[in-house]
Structure 1
């Protein structure tokens, strides 16, 4: 029997953001950056690869470390960080990994005989004379098409004047995303850069004006149409633009997903920060792969995915973030679930963008994990659920369940269970009559529930905060 799939789709102790999904030989492989639990920077770890059979997206296999940051000839001491990668199968049947390193202006290339790696350092993207393409070689996206090999890259921050700080490697502000053609060796540039998506300084008066390109270049070909997927200056959203040719011109299409559901609801449904990912067709169904944030910071990001539709006219309607993700439908209510599958979250105040630097909102609830040495033994749970904090699960399928159980610790008080809306009347109230320092289960009755519902848990501790580990409904 196939297991259930839910978000995040990898184990709770794994942090692979910036996911680029690709199907090779009957399996879907996800290539991404690699964050650290309780991390203090983006992309602190070496690359790893996870894969799953295309007909069972609930069974993910750890393929191991695919490329180490110290393998690059310019980073033998491993001090620079491996930023978001992409992979393509070249004309020779081998697999080519493209990546950027912090404070380095070139795109690195590694190669393997297998889509899972390990990859070996191959060289840098450059012209035959050794010169580098214009712009900062950041977040590469690669397409091997029938008539050529196309590399997309760039970053276009909202700054005025000379780039400084994190963008000091830029000689000048990039006007948006660039594309260059590569030779059949997969690393020699053979064209001048072409602007394919407008950024901050060039978007005014174009279709990109409200959602200018910032970073996270990704490219796909669907039904003869080219889709450029990117992260806009809004930060939390993945947008797309389309063209009839790989060099464009690209026309802005819309937002595919926001990791705070901005654009779909009046207020954000979750705390937001940067986003990066792409689309892929897996066994006839298209998905958008993206990431969410944990630990109350920009770091320790986790991989998520949602089903999408590509309409006949090429449009992709925006989808909401859910707990079901890669599952075939809503999750059965009559099963025990970890609290980390929640997709909606806010504290006493509405959810908002997570600041990149202190001070942080002390009332913000967030996912955190215990710190056992063996990562497979770590437990991910919700913490700091203060009065009026709430979390939501979308969606559960009920078949007449009449009780609910939660496992929590912390303050005494109540936890209310609501369906479909946080403005609805509670269908159950769970009383927590004592303060607990260890995980304790509490059960309450509810009237029989049927059908597909979003489920919200509203926390009302008498003082302090509660931590939330798991829940289940039962008949």
Structure 2
């Protein structure tokens, strides 16, 4: 197996859990009212001791040493609801979750964490906060969260939600010092903040996903709107050169900061900003699937740059990118010179059920998929790349759909087993093995793999096995590479 030097969004993360139990709780719904699904979102990430540690919604935590392969790790706390807040302060690590009062502490970022105290305001009241985040600024500690300001802001709106900030007691980090201040709130003049798939509701915006990042002497507040269920979900940035609680103003050149309304990373909202190797900055964000439920999501990340005015900007991607630390100078162009080769290329399938035709495996939509007939023992999906031109294949991505998943009945997700082959001749008569994952034991609902450069005229996917009770659905099968000189095979 070659060492991977690229990654591809949405991120390939092992053992993504069911999200239905938590989403049903938040929306006050019965779990059985909708089909089960996986979900991972709202990432808080730290880069520590050469490792990336991610604390997302639903289940914590995930660790990567190469920024390509992510593994689930038990930190002593199964979950922190949504959007955990994490910080290292005075050599201790602190965690608190969405809608929770409990704060936890540990000596290292992977725990074990233990209960420390309840988040308490300056009047001594235990309070619940939403989408919290910390900032350790020298020897001072600050906390930010999503707050309803409808009672204090006069605005023609259904609700006025924004960012509150306060300093915490460094000796008792659960204790707020003074009253929280409002840093920003919903601004209907900013179209991207308006709720709706087309940002049509000018009287409603949900400002959430707070994250405070400091670079030099400048403070950057990352926040999201207009709703995690919409393709228009996006991140914005305000910055201050005064301090961590005052003087914030919106970016002029890059507002919103991350946005993408089509493809596999549509709805690039709620996330974080993280320093990486070689003085780089990386943006993690939530991307939406939202088929079985409005909160069905995945995670993406991309390189952040700084313009001449000190503003941050980021291009949201869903094609292969160079991983952090691979090259010393990751400039404006972070993508290798390869393209998707199978998009809308009309594959042929061994079988399919009505409404789940093979073209849905290559239409760049997270809402559709190819699904073979249940009695198809070796489902096969075949792509012809071209008889007069051949291609050098460099990597591929498979996005799976766990059809029939039902954790309440013991039907749980797991590894899919498969083989990918490539045609060595223009007539696609002779096939050789490209990837043999027929004994795959790793549970990857998104499976991205680099391969040695391989000349091919066609590719095909053979599904060899699926978890018990689950029918395989292929949301996406994309091969990445480039066209090369015809090799003489016809």
Q: What TM-score do you get using the length of structure 2 for normalisation?
A: 0.58
* 8 Å CA contact 2:361, 2:475 repeated in 1: no
Q: Which residue in the other structure is 1:191 paired with?
A: 178
CA distance in 2, matches of 1:51, 1:438: 27
Deviation at residue 306 of structure 1 after TM alignment: 1.2
CA distance in 2, matches of 1:207, 1:16: 27
* Deviations, residues 95-145 of structure 1 (Å, cap 9, x unaligned): 0002123xxxx6431111120123222221113652246xx6100010011
CA distance in 2, matches of 1:325, 1:157: 40
Q: Give matches, 1:145-294, under 5 Å.
A: 145-156=137-148, 175-184=161-170, 185-199=172-186, 203=187, 214-233=207-226, 235=228, 236-244=233-241, 245-253=243-251, 254-258=255-259, 261-262=260-261, 268-269=262-263, 272=266, 275-283=269-277, 284-294=279-289
Out of 38, 42, 53, the position equivalent to 1:29 is: 53
CA distance in 1, matches of 2:219, 2:174: 22
Q: Give matches, 1:350-365, under 5 Å.
A: none
| Cα separation, partners in 2 of 1:288 and 1:325, compared to 1, 3 Å | farther
Q: Which residue in the other structure is 2:305 paired with?
A: 309
* 8 Å CA contact 2:341, 2:479 repeated in 1: yes
| Unaligned runs of at least 5 residues, structure 1 | 35-46, 70-80, 162-171, 263-267, 349-365, 381-393, 410-436, 440-465
1:122 and 2:124 correspond: no
| Unaligned runs of at least 5 residues, structure 2 | 17-38, 196-204, 327-334, 344-358, 369-398, 419-447, 467-472, 482-486
CA distance in 1, matches of 2:191, 2:298: 31
CA distance in 1, matches of 2:267, 2:149: 15
Q: What TM-score do you get using the length of structure 1 for normalisation?
A: 0.60
Deviation at residue 213 of structure 1 after TM alignment: 5.8
Deviation at residue 367 of structure 1 after TM alignment: 5.6
| Cα separation, partners in 2 of 1:156 and 1:323, compared to 1, 3 Å | farther
CA distance in 1, matches of 2:82, 2:227: 20
Deviation at residue 276 of structure 1 after TM alignment: 1.1
Deviation at residue 223 of structure 1 after TM alignment: 2.0
CA distance in 2, matches of 1:369, 1:190: 47
| Cα separation, partners in 2 of 1:471 and 1:82, compared to 1, 3 Å | closer
1:377 and 2:438 correspond: no
* 8 Å CA contact 1:226, 1:246 repeated in 2: yes
Q: Which residue in the other structure is 2:67 paired with?
A: 57
Aligned residues: 339
* 8 Å CA contact 1:287, 1:306 repeated in 2: yes
* 8 Å CA contact 2:145, 2:165 repeated in 1: yes
| Cα separation, partners in 2 of 1:342 and 1:309, compared to 1, 3 Å | farther
* 8 Å CA contact 2:258, 2:268 repeated in 1: no
Deviation at residue 273 of structure 1 after TM alignment: 5.5
| Cα separation, partners in 2 of 1:269 and 1:438, compared to 1, 3 Å | same
CA distance in 2, matches of 1:156, 1:340: 41
Partner of 1:405, secondary structure, is: strand
Q: Give matches, 1:88-107, under 5 Å.
A: 88-91=87-90, 93-101=91-99, 107=101
CA distance in 2, matches of 1:5, 1:341: 20
CA distance in 1, matches of 2:89, 2:280: 25
| Cα separation, partners in 2 of 1:207 and 1:320, compared to 1, 3 Å | closer
